């Protein structure tokens, strides 16, 4: 059933479908209705899963067990650093970055040298990887053909070549529609996302078929594998921890530094927020596509029973062995998807790099005349890019032909990862470390690349038998510590870990070391600022001040027209003019901003390094010295710092204002209380004064006043004067106590003795009113440390209050002195009217008197109890009252006993 023709037909039909999807995506993009959603973006990131994943994972699992997982754990972990990706995307957009080579070159002063180096490393590292994809497709075709007994030749051409040609066409059609490489290839992204879905469905279908169709589910499969002795494959081997670590690291870096990944994640990103979806959707995708890897490997090993079937083809052979040809076709399409997706994006990314960073600089330099003569270079540029795509694919095909089954092809996936990992120090350093210099980046990249070449790529050639393996076995020139895979005697590691260790050490060491020892030029310094501080870069005025010179509008416009083509150049000029409220772009002022706009437009087409050279060639730039540039940047930084400081100050000020307001509120409250106090005091003072004045005036005016009245009035005047004196004394006393300026004479006081003496001194008062005064006083242990006079004052106050409030004749007052806990307790209990609960607390406030006396108005100043309480509290005791209306009142105070000396 599976004839060569039908396979060719299916493959062609699938690719045609892909064309349709891409065409649809482009059409929608042209119509301004992008189909690139967060989901499409996240799926397109799965271009990471190549045919190496599709077929190779099962192969790796069949020999290395769970270690295949590292290739997926790395990216998952890497995606946790969303901030790094966001920053990269932000920089790329701000700088109109076209590729990873452009990114690194732009950061280090728009260096053509760096751009070229990165491009060369990428091409050398990645072309074999493309070959691997072609090989995978070829192998899958072979399996299908072998099954149906046909040959894999169509019209004398081998299918792999045809596939390479079709892929080149596809890439050319959808990858080079626009000249501006920063313009997104939405059709291509849509096609890639579509392919991600296809390969996932295909792989899961095969996995489910094998697990549940050929075996009795996962449990059965694992049980049988265990019995057959494959248990080691799904056990974690702690001895491989080092290998795991380096594989996780490599794949984590690959997810962003492989040219196709950078293209998809950074260059093709439409919206930063899409990344947030990719952060979980892509790992989920990886999880799904890996669920059946181990079951497939085990199923393959169990069914083949050691017949020597290549485990890399289990994905196809398993279902074919059961005659499930339709499923095999689906699997084939899935593998084809994985391969084509990778090849298309990779070649587009690489072609941009080759065109902008290798060919353009050479063209611009060596054949200046040639470039001068051509009026419109945009066609040439597109031509170069298309040629580069074709060339890269043919290189891949050639490598595939030459390498064949050689080891150099099989292991190339990880070798590629290790190659692009060399970009990491220059990239991350460039994004976060302003001191990183061009010289440092060149040194780091060279060192890392050379070590990679020597410890990984060349040994793989040697193992394929293309070159002698002396340098691996015995070391270069027979020097033992130069053994390619045991440098400086570092043996016992797998080759990947060995390479990662030494290349990263050399790379980072050289990058940091040389950066610290070298100085930057002006362009580098300003680019470093723009990259590292992309989120804070002032732009605008700072941007404009970083360029000074003169240029003619015509020259700049001509340059744009030549590289972008007249229509596009005019269109961009019109947009720029409109943004500045200039009607006609011909009236534009040629200032720093305009030159920068032109350079950015050019950078989008030919890369930042070439753009810089071209703009410099048509303008008369004044050389800004490094000092001046640093000065401008410093100022910008300072302005930022000032504004941050200002913000902080403002916050402080607001806080201070709030505090002030609160303090003011408190002061106002205190003021009000003081006002009330003074008002009350005034009232208390004016009241006796009123009687004194009125009666005195009457006595004074009327000398003929009757003697009885005269005597009565004078008596009142004397009494009120005494009241006034008492009041003033108590107010002063209170003020002293409250301000802490009262004088205290502290000594031993026997409270029992003090109570007796005080009762004697006030006895007359009680007798006059016919009130009974009794006491219960303990004989000893009542000595406290206190001021005798002050305690006497308290007790007199309590006793005179009591006598005031009890009824004459039937009144009784009882004094009790005893000990309670660590204190002496003194009680003055009466049988007066008692106090309400509210009064019990109110009476200790200033000028608040209990109302319910025997007379209509209570005598006294209303300060006695507050003063007493102050005194008792000064000695660490308490003064309170226990009472209920109608049951008398019991005033109690305690004074703590002195703490005995130890």
Site for other proteins (CB under 8 A): which residue of 580, 661, 693, 767?
693
Given candidates 623, 709, 748, 845, which one binds other proteins under the rule CB under 8 A? 709
Q: Near other proteins by CB under 8 A, which window of 285-293, 309-317, 453-461, 697-705?
A: 697-705
Residue with tokens 């997810």: 255
Kindly tell me which residue out of 687, 792, 793, 836 binds other proteins, with binding defined by CB under 8 A.
Answer: 687
Cβ-based nearer residue to other proteins, 318 or 863: 863
Query: What tokens appear for 880 in the block?
Result: 């309170």
DSSP state of 775: E
> What is the nearest approach in angstroms of other proteins to the Cβ of residue 787?
35
Cβ proximity to other proteins: between 745 and 856 the closer is 856
833-872: contacts with other proteins (CB under 8 A) = 851, 856-857
- How big is the chain, counted in residues? 902
Among 232, 674, 686, 711, binds other proteins (CB under 8 A): 686
Instruction: Give, as ranges, the residues between 810 and 839 that touch other proteins (CB under 8 A).
Output: none
Nearest in space to 215 (alpha carbons), one of 289, 329, 310, 294: 294
CA-nearest of 539, 436, 448 to 500 is 448
Smallest gap from Cβ 688 to other proteins, in A, equals 8
Tell me the C-alpha distance between 170 and 880, whole Å: 98
DSSP string, 688-727: HHHHHHHHHHHHHH-TT--HHHHHHHHHHHHHHHHHHHHH
Q: Identify which of residues 621 and 702 has a Cβ nearer to other proteins in the complex.
A: 702
- Note whether 114 binds other proteins by CB under 8 A: no
Stretch that binds other proteins, among 22-30, 80-88, 375-383, 678-686 (CB under 8 A): 678-686
Nearer to other proteins, 48 or 713 (CB): 713
Q: On the CB side of 782, how many CA atoms lie within 13 Å of its CA?
A: 19
- Asked if 384 contacts 359 with a C-beta cutoff of 8 angstroms, the reply is yes
SS3 581: coil
Which listed residue (18, 192, 692, 829) binds other proteins by CB under 8 A? 692
Contacts of other proteins in 327-386 (CB under 8 A)? none
Q: Which is nearer to other proteins, 661 or 683 (CB)?
A: 683
Is residue 544 within 8 Å of residue 592, measured between CB atoms? yes
The least distance separating other proteins from the CB of residue 721, rounded to whole angstroms, comes to 11
Out of 372, 581, 583, 701, name the contact with other proteins by CB under 8 A. 701
CB of 857 to other proteins, least distance (A): 5
Buried/exposed code over 574-605 (b: 16+ C-beta within 10 A; e: otherwise): eebbeeeeeeebeebebebbbbebbbbbbbbb
Shortest CB 862 distance to other proteins, Å: 13
Tell me: does residue 232 bind other proteins (CB under 8 A).
no
Cα 26 to Cα 186: distance, rounded to the nearest angstrom: 6
Rounded Cα distance, 652 and 599, in Å: 44
Q: Which residues within the stretch 711-770 sit at the binding site for other proteins (CB under 8 A)?
A: 712-713, 716, 719-720
Cβ at position 696, least distance to other proteins in Å: 9
Q: Which of 95, 86, 82 is nearest to 182 (CA)?
A: 95
The half-sphere exposure of 772 on its side-chain side, counting CA atoms within 13 A, is: 8
**CA–CA separation, 445 vs 257, rounded Å?**
13
Among 695, 759, 815, 871, binds other proteins (CB under 8 A): 695
Q: Residue 691 interacts with other proteins (CB under 8 A)?
A: yes
Alpha-carbon distance of 606 to 361, in angstroms, equals 9
Which residue among 623, 655, 702, 748 contacts other proteins (CB under 8 A)?
A: 702
CA–CA gap between residue 347 and residue 308 (Å, rounded): 35
Q: Least CB distance from residue 664 to other proteins, whole Å?
A: 22
Size of site (CB under 8 A) for other proteins: 27
What is the distance of C-alpha 617 from the center of its chain? 43
> Is residue 476 at the binding interface for other proteins, with CB under 8 A as the rule?
no
- Going from the C-alpha of 339 to that of each of 57, 274, 445, 546, 550, the distances in angstroms are 14, 25, 29, 46, 51
User: Which among 62-70, 160-168, 259-267, 707-715 is the span making contact with other proteins, rule CB under 8 A?
Assistant: 707-715
Toward other proteins, which CB reaches closer, 473 or 676? 676
Query: Beta strands of 129-231 (E only): which ranges?
Result: 153-154, 157-158
Which CB atom, from 687 or from 800, has the smaller least distance to other proteins?
687
Nearer residue to other proteins within complex by CB, 303 or 687: 687
Minimal distance in Å, beta carbon 885 to other proteins? 17
532 CB-side CA count, 13 A: 18
Asked if 518 is part of the footprint of other proteins (rule: CB under 8 A), the reply reads: no
- Binding footprint of other proteins on the chain (CB under 8 A): 679, 682-684, 686-695, 697-698, 701-702, 709, 712-713, 716, 719-720, 851, 856-857
């Amino acid at each position: 059933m599976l004839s060569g023709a039908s396979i060719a037909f299916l493959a062609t039909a699938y690719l045609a479908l892909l064309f349709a999807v891409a065409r649809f995506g482009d059409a929608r993009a042209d119509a301004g209705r992008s189909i690139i959603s967060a989901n499409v973006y996240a799926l397109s990131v799965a271009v990471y899963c190549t045919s190496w994943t599709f077929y190779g994972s099962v192969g790796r699992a069949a020999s290395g067990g769970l270690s295949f997982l590292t290739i997926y754990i790395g990216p998952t972990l890497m995606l946790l650093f969303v901030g790094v990706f966001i920053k990269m995307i932000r920089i790329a957009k701000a700088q109109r970055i076209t590729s990873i080579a452009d990114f690194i070159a732009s950061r280090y002063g728009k260096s053509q040298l760096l751009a070229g180096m990165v491009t060369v490393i990428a091409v050398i590292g990645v072309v074999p990887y493309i070959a691997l994809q072609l090989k995978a497709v070829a192998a899958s075709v072979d399996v299908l053909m072998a099954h149906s007994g046909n040959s894999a030749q169509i019209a004398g051409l081998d299918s792999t070549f045809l596939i390479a040609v079709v892929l080149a066409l596809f890439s050319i059609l959808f990858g080079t529609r626009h000249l501006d490489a920063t313009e997104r290839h939405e059709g291509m992204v849509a096609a890639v996302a579509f392919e991600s879905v296809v390969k996932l469905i295909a792989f899961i279908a095969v996995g489910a078929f094998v697990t549940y169709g050929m075996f009795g589910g996962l449990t059965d499969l694992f049980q049988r594998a265990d019995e057959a002795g494959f248990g080691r494959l799904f056990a974690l081997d702690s001895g491989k921890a080092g290998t795991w670590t380096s594989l996780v690291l490599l794949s984590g870096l690959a997810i962003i530094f492989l040219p196709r990944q950078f293209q998809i994640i950074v260059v093709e990103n439409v919206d930063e927020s899409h990344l947030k979806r990719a952060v979980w959707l892509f790992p989920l995708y990886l999880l799904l596509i890996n669920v059946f890897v181990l079951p497939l490997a085990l199923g393959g090993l169990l069914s083949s029973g050691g017949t020597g079937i290549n485990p890399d083809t289990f994905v196809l052979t398993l279902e074919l062995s059961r005659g499930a040809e339709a499923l095999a076709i689906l699997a084939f399409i899935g593998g084809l998807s994985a391969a084509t997706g990778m090849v298309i994006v990779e070649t587009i990314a690489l072609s941009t790099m080759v065109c902008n960073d290798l060919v353009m600089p050479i063209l611009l330099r060596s054949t200046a005349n040639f470039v001068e003569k051509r009026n419109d270079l945009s066609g040439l540029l597109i031509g170069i890019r298309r040629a580069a795509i074709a060339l890269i694919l043919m290189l891949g095909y050639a490598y595939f032909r030459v390498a064949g089954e050689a080891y150099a092809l099989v292991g190339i996936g990880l070798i590629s990862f290790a190659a692009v990992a060399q970009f990491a120090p220059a990239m991350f350093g460039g994004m976060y470390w302003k001191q990183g210099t061009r010289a440092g980046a060149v040194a780091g990249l060279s060192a890392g690349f050379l070590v990679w070449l020597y410890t990984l790529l060349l040994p793989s050639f040697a193992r394929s038998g293309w070159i002698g393996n002396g340098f691996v076995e015995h070391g270069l020139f027979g020097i033992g510590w130069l053994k390619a895979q045991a440098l400086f005697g570092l043996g016992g590691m797998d080759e990947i870990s060995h390479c990662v260790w030494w290349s990263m050490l050399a790379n980072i060491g050289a990058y940091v070391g040389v950066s610290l020892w070298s100085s930057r030029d002006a362009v580098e310094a300003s680019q470093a600022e723009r990259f590292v501080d992309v989120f804070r870069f002032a732009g605008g005025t700072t941007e404009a001040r970083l360029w000074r010179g003169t240029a003619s509008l015509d020259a700049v416009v001509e340059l744009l027209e030549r590289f972008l083509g007249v229509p596009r150049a005019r269109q961009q000029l019109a947009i720029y003019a409109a943004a500045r409220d200039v009607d006609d772009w011909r009236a534009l002022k040629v200032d720093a901003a305009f030159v920068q706009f032109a350079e950015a437009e050019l950078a989008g087409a030919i890369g930042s390094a070439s753009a810089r050279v071209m703009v410099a060639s048509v303008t008369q730039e004044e050389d800004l010295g490094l000092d001046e540039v640093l000065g401008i940047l410093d100022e910008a930084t300072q302005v930022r710092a000032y504004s941050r400081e200002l913000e902080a100050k403002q916050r402080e000020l607001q806080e201070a204002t709030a505090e002030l307001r609160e303090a003011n509120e408190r002061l106002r409250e205190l003021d009000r209380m003081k006002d009330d106090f003074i008002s009350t005091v005034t009232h208390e003072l004016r009241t006796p004064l009123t009687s004194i004045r009125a009666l005195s005036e009457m006595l004074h005016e009327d000398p003929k006043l009757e003697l009885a009245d005269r005597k009565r009035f004078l008596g009142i005047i004397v009494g009120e004067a005494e009241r006034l004196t008492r009041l003033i004394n108590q107010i002063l006393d209170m003020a002293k106590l409250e301000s802490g300026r009262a004088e205290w004479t502290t000594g031993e006081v026997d409270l029992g003795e003090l109570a007796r003496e005080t009762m004697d001194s006030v006895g007359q008062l009680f007798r006059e009113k016919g009130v009974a005064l009794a006491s219960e006083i303990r004989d000893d242990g009542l000595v406290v440390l206190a001021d005798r006079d002050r305690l006497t004052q308290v007790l007199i106050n309590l006793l005179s209050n009591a006598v005031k409030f009890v009824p004459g004749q039937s009144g009784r007052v009882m004094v009790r002195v005893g000990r309670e806990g660590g204190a002496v307790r003194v009680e003055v209990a009466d049988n007066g009217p008692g106090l309400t609960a509210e009064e019990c607390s109110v009476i200790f406030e200033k000028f608040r008197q209990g109302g319910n006396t025997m007379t209509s108005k209570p005598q006294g100043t209303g300060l006695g109890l507050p003063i007493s309480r102050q005194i008792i509290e000064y000695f660490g005791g308490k003064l309170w009252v226990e009472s209920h209306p109608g049951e008398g009142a019991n005033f109690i105070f305690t004074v703590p006993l002195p703490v005995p000396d130890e």
